[in-house]
Amino acid sequence: MFDDRPVRGDLDDHVENVLDLLNEYDISLSASTPEMARQQLEVLTDLSGTEPEEVGAVTDVEIPGDAPDQPAIPARVYEPTGTGPFPTVVYYPGGGFVTGSVDTHDNLCRLLCKRAEATVVSVEYRKAPEDPWPAAPKDAYVAARWAQSNAEEYGGDGDTLVLAGDSAGGNLSAVVSLMAVDRGMPDIDRQLLLYPATTYMDPMQSRAQNGDGYFITSHDLLWFAAQYMADEFDAHNPWAFPMNARPEYLAETPPAFVMTCGYDPLRDEGHAYAVELAEAGVDVEYTNYESMIHGFLNMEGIVDRAYDGIDEVAEQIHEA
pLDDT in tens, 224-247: 999 999 999 999 999 999 999 999
Class of domain 13-319: alpha beta
Residues 24-51: tens digit of each pLDDT: 999 999 978 999 999 999 999 999 999 9
Regions in the chain scoring below 50 on pLDDT: none
Q: What local confidence, expressed as pLDDT, does residue 178 receive?
A: 98
DSSP string of 242-283, one letter each residue: GGGS-HHHHTTSPPEEEEEETT-TTHHHHHHHHHHHHHTT--
> What is the spatial distance between Cα 70 and Cα 92, in angstroms, rounded to a whole number?
18
* The pLDDT value given to residue 69: 81
At residue 3, the pLDDT reads 63
Strand 57-63 with 73-79, pairing: antiparallel
Given this model, what pLDDT does residue 1 score?
55
Q: What is the pLDDT of residue 2?
A: 65
- pLDDT at site 6: 86
Tell me the C-alpha distance between 276 and 294, whole Å: 22
So where are the chain's domains? 13-319
Q: Which residues are catalytic?
A: 167, 264, 294
What is the model's pLDDT at position 196?
98
